[in-house]
Structure 1
Amino acid sequence: MRNTPNVLELIKKYQAKGYVDNFRIENNTLIDVISKLEYSPKEIHIVAEHRFEGMSNPADMSILYIIKIGNEIKGTFLASYGSVADTEAAEFFNEIPQENVSNSENILN
């Protein structure tokens, strides 16, 4: 059985591959924390995602989105899901067109 990395280990591995931007969501817009540039769901490409359950409480669930925007912007977004979900983030990611979602950059494949 392969040992699955935890969230921080995965983020570090993706950062080593250039996924260094961090984002927040506000008013149905993804905002780059450093540049303050704003993006709509249609501009976002999810190139991998990883789901995690809390070690001590399975209700503590999160999903790590690996994101590309155009050819230049690459980063990660960690969102809660399940009973403690951030509804604004969940709604935003549900609006990303299905054709913009793939698993093409998943480092665990």
Structure 2
Amino acid sequence: MKKEYAKEETDYIDKYQKNGYCANFLFQNNCLIDVDTKYGYKPAEIFIVAHHRYEGMSNPDDMSILYVIETSNQVKGTYLLGYGPSADLEAAEFFKDIPEENYSTNADINKLT
């Protein structure tokens, strides 16, 4: 099993931001919204460069997925999605609707330069 780089999401977020993945996204009205431009992306406009899953150390129900995203117009950023009992089901469905061919098999931060 591949060893994860970081124990907490923020460690990865910091590392990706240093590599240019600085945009922040919100999920709203069935779109992933770029916080700065307010543009709403549909699933077909999203490309998942990498994703990392986390379970809480003290509470295994505290789970999340960090998505590293590039959009069809080359905006790079991250989105943190809670999953498990506290999941946002609409946001989870949005990520399931991203076409399979838009998911990279690369999850190595060191190859994302």
TM-score by length of 1: 0.91
Match in the other structure for 1:30: 32
Tell me which residue corresponds to 2:60: 58
Say if 1:105 and 1:19 are closer, same or farther in 2 by CA, change over 3 A. farther
Q: Which residue of 1 aligns with 2:86?
A: 84
| Residue aligning to 1:12 | 14
Q: Give, in angstroms, the shift of residue 106 of structure 1.
A: 2.9
* Superposition deviation, residue 2 in structure 1: 5.3
Question: Are 1:98 and 2:100 matched, yes or no?
Answer: yes
Aligned residue identity for 2:57: M
Contact in 1 for aligned 2:5/2:12 (Cα 8 Å): no
* RMSD value, Cα: 1.9
Change (3 A) 1:55 1:34: same
TM-score, structure 2 length as denominator? 0.88
Give the CA deviation at 1:34.
Answer: 1.1
Aligned residues: 109
CA contact (8 A) 1:79 1:89 kept: yes
* Structure 2 unaligned regions, length at least 5: none
Tell me, which stretches of 5 or more residues in structure 1 are unaligned?
A: none
